Amino acid sequence: MKKWIVACLLAFGLISGAVAAKSAVPLDRAPDLSNDLAALQRGAHLFVNYCLSCHSASFERYKRFKELGLTERQIRDNLMFTGERVGDLMQAAISPADAKVFWGKAAPDLTMITRSRAGSGGTDYIYTLLRSYYRDDTIAHGWNNKAFPAIAMPNPLWYLQGERRPVMQTVAGPDGSSTEVFAGWEQVTPGTQSPEEFDRSVAELVAFLDWLAEPAKQQRQTLGIFVLLFLAVFTFMAWRLNKEYWKDIK
Amino acid sequence: MAAEYKEISPNAPAGEQLLNWVDNRFPLSKLYKEHLSEYYAPKNLNFWYFFGSLALLVLVIQIISGIFLVMHYKPDATLNAAGVPVAFASVEYIMREVEWGWLIRYIHSTGASFFFIVVYMHMFRGLIYGSYRRPRELIWLFGCGILLVMMAIAFTGYLLPWGQMSFWGAAVIVNLFAAVPVIGPDLALLIRGDFVVGDATLNRFFSLHVIALPLVLLGLVVAHIIALHEVGSNNPDGIEIKKHKDASGKPLDGIPFHPYYSVHDLMGVGVFLMIFSAVVFFAPSGGGFFLKYTNLIPADPLVTPAHIAPVWYFAAYYSMLRAVTTEFMYVLTAAVWFAAFHGIFRAGFGTQGKVLVLGGAVVGTLMLLGLDAMFWGVVIMGAAVVILCFLPWLDRSPVASIRYRPTWNKYLYGAFVINFFILTYFGVLPPSVISTRYSQFGTLFYLGFFLLMPWWSRWGDFKPVPSRVTFTPH
């Protein structure tokens, strides 16, 4: 019997291993900033400044930012620009119809973006995507992305990052043919942030998006510890009770 | 026959008087005795016997969490002001704004997967210890009915969050019904209530999920338990404890369900809830198996996801569906002829019988090769579940429990389980050459396991069955 259980567990382990994240480019690991309130606040600031113009987060309200340690006053003064109320859902400034005309498709809602993309890397994917933009004149809006070729969204953070282009190197293959491989980035014009600062900003933005995807996550995990502790006591008592009754059975 | 009115001394304690008052009007004490305090269960029940009571627990969890979800969920596929389907938005509303809504919803979504885990374990127990055999055939049949209704509930419920996987999963499965000859297209139309999966589909699935199917399920569960308490539990030795009774008529190897199995099951409940809570609180998505990531994107009829995968508990059957390709039909045809030759040359039918078998094989071949392979895929998928109903009559082994069957049976049952896991594994992946080939083998193995059971279950050296259960006091 025990062999069966081990077999079951193994099979599930194998399954989760095999369906794990796959992506066209290797993904950079997004730093875990989920417990860093200041980072999440800066991420929120980046989000409302650089994302919310086109992308909604229509399942959440501004007032939820209170859970990031902000007061309603701070939220209203720093994170809201177009006369909404704190209790409003976060709607994009642009109308979906306009977005469709400008970019060819309406920008997706970002409330659950890190979770809905979890199958292809989740936070790591977004972290990599936002740092993989480069100038490409063959595309109408002038931007391309190594992690998402021919992406409809121009680089939203170019002002921070500046303009870059990929450096390609020609490598001779074993059969004599030559292939072009990516050999790093070349900064064409500087942004307002250094590359290190920019990576940090994107990490904060991604951490914020991950918080936004499930704001109750922290509460869930904290409560879970207490529930499991209670159940451990309960199970221990049930086990002793069972033992006490069953000692009569010969 | 109606019970006589029982008088009790007016000096009796108030509690006793109240109980007597009730007992004269409702068989409370009688039910308590028959189903708990004087319901005798074998004393040698092991680990596998936890899953019956756990299935009942999960059912209660699903009903209660479901009641609270329905208070806030809106089965409406129209778009709200933000351009999001109302149904999808109402689920996020539950997750974000309803007090403890996230907890209730995660309990319900995790409960769905655990219901299948528990029921599959429960069925496996029945399989290895012969719990479906005489006189427990009806318990098994009610159980098969429960599985079928559970599948329908899971399928209709999965549409309700109205995410991409909800929408496209339902679209794919309902389209399968369209492959049925003649009535197919109308059948699919009837299920959808529209020409595409839409608001009408969502509303009827909601109705089926929250009221129609649960009512049927509850009826079947009651019938399952009544039938069980009529004949009593089987046990890992597969022998009847009622054959050996003491002077007062109590089975010698039986112990009262309450308190012995009530405390025993309570321990099982504790362990189960720990595992269940670990998932609810720390991994509610179950690695993408319990909640699909792409289902967090609202349903969009214009964007088909790259890969539409079934939920894990349907994946093995989905593999069998995908295994049935046009070339696989030749294998099935060959199997039909193999069976026909066996019937003609070995089964000892008269001339008329032989002609009938031959005629049946010819008609079968024409249908197998003449109709769309997808239709037969649907048939095989359905047959894989329905065949379980026939188990009591397919098993011809002289003994019930695997403990006293030939040793190689253990490997066969092991292979059956591993095969089911591999089919599940391939079912959630996009199709590939390897997965199709394996699924074809796996489908034949799965069906062969049951269809050839009348023969293989009689082979080999059976071990002597003891007259009393094997039990070591703890």
Q: What is the pLDDT of residues B411-450, one digit of tens each?
A: 999 999 999 999 999 999 999 999 999 999 999 999 999 9
How large is the angle between the packed helices B407-428 and A2-18, nearest 10 degrees? Answer: 20
pLDDT of A26 over the 90 cut: no
pLDDT band, residue A206 (cuts 50/70/90): very high
Domain membership of residue A133 as a residue range: 22-243
Check residue A82 and give its pLDDT.
79
Give the minimum alpha-carbon distance from A3 to chain B in angstroms, rounded to a whole number: 10
Domain assignment present for residue A141? The answer is yes
pLDDT, mean of residues A137-162: 92
Which of the two residues, B270 and A107, has the higher pLDDT score? Answer: B270
Domain assignment present for residue A13? The answer is no
Kindly state whether residues B170 and B263 are assigned to the same domain.
yes
Domain membership of residue B171 as a residue range: 31-282
Residues of B in contact with A245 (CB under 8 A): 259-260, 263
Q: Do B278 and A224 touch (CB under 8 A)?
A: yes
Q: Do B293 and A118 touch (CB under 8 A)?
A: yes
pLDDT of B127 over the 60 cut: yes
pLDDT band, residue B139 (cuts 50/70/90): very high
Give the number of domains in chain B. 2
Check residue A99 and give its pLDDT.
83
pLDDT above 90 covers what percent of chain B?
89
A70, exposed or middle or buried, with CB in 10 Å at 0-12, 13-18, 19+? buried
Give the number of domains in chain A. 1
Domain assignment present for residue A130? The answer is yes
Domain assignment present for residue B14? The answer is no
φ/ψ bin of B277: left (φ > 0), alpha (ψ from -120 to 50), beta (otherwise):
alpha
Nearest by CB: B266 against A58, A238, A246 = A238
pLDDT of B471 over the 60 cut: yes
pLDDT of B346 over the 90 cut: no
pLDDT of B361 over the 70 cut: yes
Give the residue from chain B lying closest to A106, CA to CA: B83
Domain assignment present for residue A16? The answer is no
Check residue A24 and give its pLDDT.
63
Q: How many CB pairs under 8 A join A and B?
A: 136
Check residue B389 and give its pLDDT.
97
pLDDT, mean of residues B235-255: 93
pLDDT of B313 over the 60 cut: yes
Domain assignment present for residue B5? The answer is no
The CATH number of residue A36's host domain is 1.10.760.10
pLDDT, mean of residues B249-266: 95
A183 touches chain B (CB under 8 A): no
Q: Do A221 and B281 touch (CB under 8 A)?
A: yes
pLDDT, mean of residues B256-265: 96
Check residue A177 and give its pLDDT.
82
At B280, list the tokens: 């609810």
The CATH number of residue B366's host domain is 1.20.810.10
Give the residue from chain A lying closest to B89, CA to CA: A59
Helix (H, G, I), strand (E, B) or coil at A14: helix
pLDDT tens track for B155-186: 999 999 999 999 999 999 999 999 899 999 99
pLDDT tens track for B30-63: 999 999 999 999 999 999 999 999 999 999 999 9
Residues of A in contact with B261 (CB under 8 A): none
Residues of A in contact with B418 (CB under 8 A): 7, 11
Check residue A21 and give its pLDDT.
39
Check residue B1 and give its pLDDT.
58
pTM: 0.92
Q: Do A15 and B289 touch (CB under 8 A)?
A: yes
